[in-house]
């Protein structure tokens, strides 16, 4: 049909199609809004004067907390996140923080808790036929991967939809398999309490804006650290692109069954995939991004360089900089790697309840996970990874790089992070 359009109209059609494709990839906006005054301007919201002290007294103090030693680089000046944290994923040392326990809307970073809670429960090859009730109640404007009613998907498909496209439809289907939304919310809340993520209040399992739903940079970092103990969690978080099942079409009578179509989905973590004006971050290996009207942009990322693994969470930057949440995360990661051995920790990532910090060097936070899909390697010795282009393994202790838009594993290394509990009484 385009062959019959004039050159001007063809250009216009291309511009419209491009705009539609970009909007389809953009983070969804949601109904809830940030508090505003009578004139419609956003209120100047400040952190509470006293916050939780889980992980250390300084983490409950408003403002930036950092102890620079000799030769330590100064913190980046262009940081606008309401809350952020930089932590060593292995030792649990919190290297620097800003309003770490401020309870804020988490957006889709809450899906990390959803995955950490439910992933060990379902084998990856289990199939599920989607019922209309499975997709009921999805919030207006939700990010979706494109799940259809009366279609069958594997659990692997659903987790790819959760991690790559932040699909609230995939979350709803997995929650239905888990017994429904109320049970899943209760399971997530219980798991958050086990992890001592006590700032977190779960209302909706997909992170969609809901009254009273909050978390914190500290909690999201704890949750990410727990999830990254699980091989499947790491692999999904580090997958750049994958094929997702389309809608199967019933063959006409007497005709052969057609192969089910697929379409490509790509990870919306821009430090992994890159974007216009933003290069993929060297060493990035996950984890999860989010964006809603109420929460703003949120992100938790993990990266490895020279044998060091850092976790950074940034919540709701106010900067007008393009891709601000990723830019600020990248700057904090750079600072964290450059400050090795030159700063005194200001706090710690605490162990889960019931875990004795003196019990060995390695620990897995989830109960009953060994031997299940998504569980940590109980041997602690890890495994050699397999290089792949479209669905590649990744995670803690693995240096990841991106070349030509394809995820490449630069070095196969141990899967299980040597997580150590920080020394007490610091």
330 φ/ψ angles, rounded to the nearest 5 degrees: -60, -40
Residue 82's closest CA among 252, 333, 294, 267? 294
CB-side neighbour CA atoms (13 Å) of 250: 4
Coil, strand or helix at 401: strand
The span from the CA of 156 to the CA of 191, in Å, is 22
The span from the CA of 308 to the CA of 287, in Å, is 16
- Please tell me which residue in 83, 91, 108, 375 is annotated as part of the active site: 108
Beta-ladder partners of 315? 83, 298
The span from the CA of 127 to the CA of 145, in Å, is 17
Q: Alpha-carbon torsion 29, 104, 309, 353, what sign?
A: negative
Contact 166, 58 (CB under 8 A): no
The span from the CA of 332 to the CA of 203, in Å, is 30
115: which 2 tokens? Answer: 């995955």
Residue 7 CB coordination number (10 Å) = 7
Contact 297, 30 (CB under 8 A): no
Give DSSP secondary structure letters for 306-366: TTEEEEEEEEEE---STTHHHHHHHHHHHHHHHTTTTEE--EE-PPPTT--TTS-S----S
Residue 329's closest CA among 351, 307, 297? 297
209: which 2 tokens? Answer: 């804006």
Residue 286's closest CA among 298, 269, 274, 268? 269
- Please tell me which residue in 52, 83, 91, 111 is annotated as part of the active site: 111
Query: Three-state SS string across 244-270, please?
Result: EECCCCCCCCCCCCCCCCEEEEECCCH
Active site residue 111: yes
Beta-ladder partners of 36? 42
- Please tell me which residue in 52, 166, 375, 392 is annotated as part of the active site: 166
Contact 86, 94 (CB under 8 A): yes
Which residues are catalytic, by number? 108, 111, 166
């Amino acid at each position: 049909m385009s062959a019959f359009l004039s050159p001007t109209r063809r250009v216009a059609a291309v511009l419209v199609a491009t705009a539609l494709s970009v909007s389809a990839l953009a983070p969804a906006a949601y109904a809830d809004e940030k508090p505003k005054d009578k004139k419609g301007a956003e209120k100047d919201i400040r952190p509470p004067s006293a916050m939780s002290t889980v992980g250390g007294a300084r983490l409950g103090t408003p403002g930036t907390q950092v102890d620079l030693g000799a030769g330590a680089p100064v913190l980046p000046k262009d940081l606008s996140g309401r809350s952020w944290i930089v932590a060593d994923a292995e030792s649990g040392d919190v290297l620097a923080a800003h309003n770490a326990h401020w309870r804020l809307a988490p957006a889709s970073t809450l899906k990390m808790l959803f995955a950490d809670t439910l992933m060990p429960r379902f084998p990856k090859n289990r199939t599920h036929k989607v019922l209309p009730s499975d997709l009921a109640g999805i919030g207006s404007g939700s990010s979706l991967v494109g799940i259809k009613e009366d279609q069958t998907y594997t659990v692997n498909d659903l987790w790819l939809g959760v991690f790559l496209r932040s699909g609230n439809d995939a979350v709803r289907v997995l929650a239905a398999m888990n017994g429904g939304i109320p049970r899943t919310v209760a399971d997530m809340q219980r798991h958050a309490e086990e992890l001592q993520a006590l700032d977190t209040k779960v209302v909706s399992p997909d992170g969609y804006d809901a009254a009273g739903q909050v978390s914190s940079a500290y909690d999201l970092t704890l949750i990410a650290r727990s999830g990254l103990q699980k091989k499947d969690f790491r692999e999904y978080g580090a997958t750049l692109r994958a094929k997702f099942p389309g809608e199967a079409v019933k063959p006409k009578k007497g005709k052969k069954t057609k192969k089910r179509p697929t379409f490509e989905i790509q990870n919306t973590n821009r430090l992994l995939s890159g974007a216009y004006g933003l290069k993929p971050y060297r060493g990035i290996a996950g984890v999860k991004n989010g964006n809603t009207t109420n929460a703003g942009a949120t992100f938790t990322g993990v990266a490895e360089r020279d044998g060091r693994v850092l976790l950074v969470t940034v919540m709701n930057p106010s900067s007008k900089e393009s891709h601000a949440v990723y830019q600020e995360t990248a700057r904090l990661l750079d600072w964290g790697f450059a400050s090795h051995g030159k700063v005194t920790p200001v706090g710690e990532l605490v162990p889960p309840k019931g875990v004795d910090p003196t019990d060995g060097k390695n620990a897995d936070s989830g109960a009953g996970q060994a031997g299940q899909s998504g569980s940590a390697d109980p041997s602690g010795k890890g495994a050699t990874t397999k290089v792949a282009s479209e669905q590649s393994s990744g995670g803690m202790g693995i240096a990841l790089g991106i070349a030509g838009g394809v995820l490449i594993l630069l070095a196969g290394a141990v899967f299980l992070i040597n997580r150590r509990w920080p020394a007490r009484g610091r």
